[in-house]
Chain A
Amino acid sequence: MAALNIMPIVRKEFRQIKRDKRILGVLLFIPAMMLFMFGYALNFDVKHTRLAVYDEEQSRLSREFIQLFFNSEYFDYVRTLQSKSEINELLDGEHVRAVLVVPSTFSKDLQKGRSTSIQVIVDGANSNAAATVLGYINAIIQQYSLKVMSQSFMRLGKQQITLPIDFEPRIWYNPELKSAKFLVPGLIAFILMVTAVVSTALSVVRERELGTMEQIMVSPIKPIEVILGKTIPYTAISLVATVMILVLGYILFDISIKGSVLLLSMVTFFFLVGGLGMGLLISTLVETQQLAFMIAVFVSMLPTFILSGFVFPIRNMPLIIQGITYLLPARYFLVALRAIILKGAGLSAFWDQAIVLCLYTVVMIGISSLRMRKILM
């Protein structure tokens, strides 16, 4: 078999990419930017929550209690309210996320050994932040409650109470609960999916739209050479972007690949090829770049972002939607990625995902090749 003549097309694609700096920018710069964003700015930890306080009692004890909240970086002090009516305005206008109301009988109750309760009003609009904030506040109050309990015991002359249960939390794989570690694998999947599908689809449709595809078809170039020639440059760039993300992730966020790099490469390669296949398939279905782009984005970027488990956990989705996620290659890829990078797991942990991924890739390549051949012949 004679060597495949793909170099002319590969070279041309690279030249075209180089000339249009924006594509390069998107493929290389954007992933880096997203990594930075996710690492530093975008995370789910809710810190610096704006908190206002309405202290009905204004005693030493109540002020001491309130100070507990602002000792950490979890809450930012905004204001002490003068009256209850201010609460509405503060929450309505999103000036604070929560308001603490300390009752007027706070210290009296505690001194008399009576239980008391703190009213906490939370803006539930952003439910995730609200739930987290609730959890923090609860935890702080609970801790204080236990302290008060043992203090009042001591005052009564009884021996110190020890807590019967020592709660020992252990966080695996990501001890500091850095959001970045959660998001980086998803970021890789996202980048690969988008570049593979979108670039390939656009690249082929563009030639059709401009008429240069015809010129190629008239020449002795075989369809397989066109396919390879067009996909190889984007594959290369995507892989470079992936490596870049991993390196940056290591430098900035200490994310090292716990598992096998070889396994990682193989899984990534399969996923990438599947994405390229999808891009080619899309390019055979549409005539204009506009449509190609919209379909590619709709079929790759959006689902990968929303449904693959990248940002939103799949477990929480309604069952029907969970069913849809089974159709997404990114879902399986992400499980494998997280397993390899963060958990250091081997193939045994995700072999079922790997099989589906392989299947998907083979099917995609098969269908798109058939259609491409039909078009190019």
Chain B
Amino acid sequence: MQDKKMLRLSIVAPILQLIILGYAASFDVSNIPMVVCDFDHSPSSRELIRSLTSTEYFTAVRYCDKTSEIDAQLDDGHASVAVVIPDGFEKDLGSGKTTPVQFIADGTETSSASIGLNYAYLIISRYSQRVVLESLIKRGSVMMPATISAEFRVWYNPELKSRNFMVPGVLGLLLMVMTMILTSLAIVKEKELGTLEQIVVTPIRPYQLIIGKLTPFFLIGIVDVVLVVFFATFIFSLPVKGSVLLLFFLCLIFLMTTLGLGLFISTISRTQQQAMMTAIFFFMLPMIFFSGFVFPIENMPKIIQYVSYLIPLRYFFVVVRGLFLKGVGLDILWPQAAAMLVFGIAILSMSVLRFQKRLG
């Protein structure tokens, strides 16, 4: 903790990480670059194209007249999708014949591809529907066929901004990095340097030693929470909808688990390098991946889903999302709070016991 550089780093780093992640990490798909291959050059084909490009989903970057150009554009990534309208499009529409419209997607970016395909399908089939209805009107039909539409309401995050999801999530990440990793590092560093032995020789009791070691990082954790809430509210326009007090309280419980883990890691590592590697690769990364932060848990094989129940971070994300985006209270979040509490106590006690055994 005396290391000035480390101190500066542990304050600057989270802020930077937060800002960058908040802005950069988004899966929102819009303005997908599209190649348009219109072989028909008719009002109808142009209208179809416009119905695609007038939305925010697609942006036409190139108009081509050879399908081979699509290869080049997709190969080097200048475009991610392409639409091909065959010659005779309008004519077929007029005579009631079915005409194929090809839509090509670059499958290497899977999420963009599938979302893009869905949008395209929707837009084109709506266009289809419209054509049918118009032709019916033209034929003087009185009876309109029934259609079903969907009326969507998006709760908590109406504009579907990734940021609103990422920022609270980053809080969990941050807390984990700062408290778990730094704690384990600090303790192991003393082990390495031999200063830990110095302390053990003094009349200090083990629990006093542990509290002394953990307190600075506990404080750092709290500072981080404050920072994140501040940034979220004022910079990302993402105020805490729920009770800020509750947020703090639940963060404290979460900190119990991370500090406990940090302590645990320090008991299984001999050198700082080991501690770092273990903390990051064997604890943090798996926890991030399996906690539902980036990848939905529902997708995972059942076994892994069960494992995810053991990860405190999972509950923390529910809590954080609930408080930032949904404004819920303890009545909804109590299962998560309880789970974190149980884990916190369990991990802390186990680590403390191990730590004491090591010292003795």
The smallest C-beta distance from A324 to any residue of chain B, in angstroms, reads 8
Kindly specify which of A52-60, A242-250, A271-279, A287-295 makes contact with the partner chain. Answer: A287-295
A residues in contact with B145, CB < 8 Å:
113, 148-150, 152-153, 161
Find out whether the CB atom of B143 lies under 8 angstroms from the CB atom of A113. yes
A320 to B271, CA, bound (A): 39
Query: Chain A: interface residue count, which band?
Result: 35 or more
Is B96 part of the binding interface, using a Cβ–Cβ cutoff of 8 Å?
A: yes
Is B29 part of the binding interface, using a Cβ–Cβ cutoff of 8 Å?
A: yes
Find out whether the CB atom of A342 lies under 8 angstroms from the CB atom of B273. no
Residue in A closest to B5 when the chains form the complex, CB atoms: A291
Q: Select B299's contact among A47, A118, A156, A298, beta carbons within 8 Å.
A: A47
B residues in contact with A315, CB < 8 Å:
31-33, 112
Residue in A closest to B135 when the chains form the complex, CB atoms: A164
Spell out B's residues near A (CB within 8 Å).
Answer: 3, 5-6, 9, 13, 17, 20-21, 23-33, 72, 74-77, 92-93, 96-115, 117-122, 124-129, 131-132, 141, 143-158, 160-162, 164-165, 185, 189, 271-274, 276-278, 280-281, 285-286, 289-290, 294-296, 298-301, 304, 318, 321-322, 325-326, 328, 332-333, 335
Q: A45-B114, A134-B152, A202-B273 are in contact. Are A175 and B107 (CB under 8 A)?
A: yes
Q: A20-B273, A127-B164, A164-B98 are in contact. Are A116 and B6 (CB under 8 A)?
A: no
A residues in contact with B326, CB < 8 Å:
91-92, 125
B residues in contact with A20, CB < 8 Å:
271, 273-274
Q: Residue-by-residue, is A1-34 near B (CB-CB < 8 Å gives 1, otherwise 0)?
A: 0000000000000000000101101100010011
B residues in contact with A312, CB < 8 Å:
24-27
Kindly specify which of A165-173, A231-239, A364-372 makes contact with the partner chain. Answer: A165-173
A interface majority secondary structure: helix
Q: A23-B277, A43-B295, A44-B27 are in contact. Are A181 and B98 (CB under 8 A)?
A: no
Find out whether the CB atom of A161 lies under 8 angstroms from the CB atom of B146. no
Find out whether the CB atom of A181 lies under 8 angstroms from the CB atom of B108. yes
Find out whether the CB atom of A290 lies under 8 angstroms from the CB atom of B98. no
Q: Can you name 30 A-B residue pairings with CB atoms under 8 Å?
A: A30-B281, A42-B300, A44-B110, A45-B299, A118-B149, A124-B154, A125-B321, A135-B122, A141-B149, A144-B148, A148-B146, A149-B129, A149-B145, A149-B147, A163-B125, A182-B107, A182-B109, A182-B110, A206-B273, A288-B3, A289-B272, A290-B185, A291-B3, A291-B5, A306-B20, A307-B20, A316-B28, A316-B162, A321-B20, A343-B108
Is A77 part of the binding interface, using a Cβ–Cβ cutoff of 8 Å?
A: no
Find out whether the CB atom of B301 lies under 8 angstroms from the CB atom of A40. yes
Is A256 part of the binding interface, using a Cβ–Cβ cutoff of 8 Å?
A: no
Find out whether the CB atom of B9 lies under 8 angstroms from the CB atom of A165. no
Find out whether the CB atom of B155 lies under 8 angstroms from the CB atom of A122. yes
Is A136 part of the binding interface, using a Cβ–Cβ cutoff of 8 Å?
A: yes
A residues in contact with B189, CB < 8 Å:
290
Q: Select B98's contact among A47, A50, A131, A162, beta carbons within 8 Å.
A: A162
Q: A23-B277, A289-B272 are in contact. Are A48 and B298 (CB under 8 A)?
A: yes
The smallest C-beta distance from B27 to any residue of chain A, in angstroms, reads 3
Find out whether the CB atom of B165 lies under 8 angstroms from the CB atom of A122. no
Q: Residue-by-residue, is A83-121 near B (CB-CB < 8 Å gives 1, otherwise 0)?
A: 000000101111001000000000001101111111111
Find out whether the CB atom of A168 lies under 8 angstroms from the CB atom of B23. no
Is A146 part of the binding interface, using a Cβ–Cβ cutoff of 8 Å?
A: yes
A residues in contact with B300, CB < 8 Å:
40-42
The smallest C-beta distance from B174 to any residue of chain A, in angstroms, reads 12
B residues in contact with A263, CB < 8 Å:
none
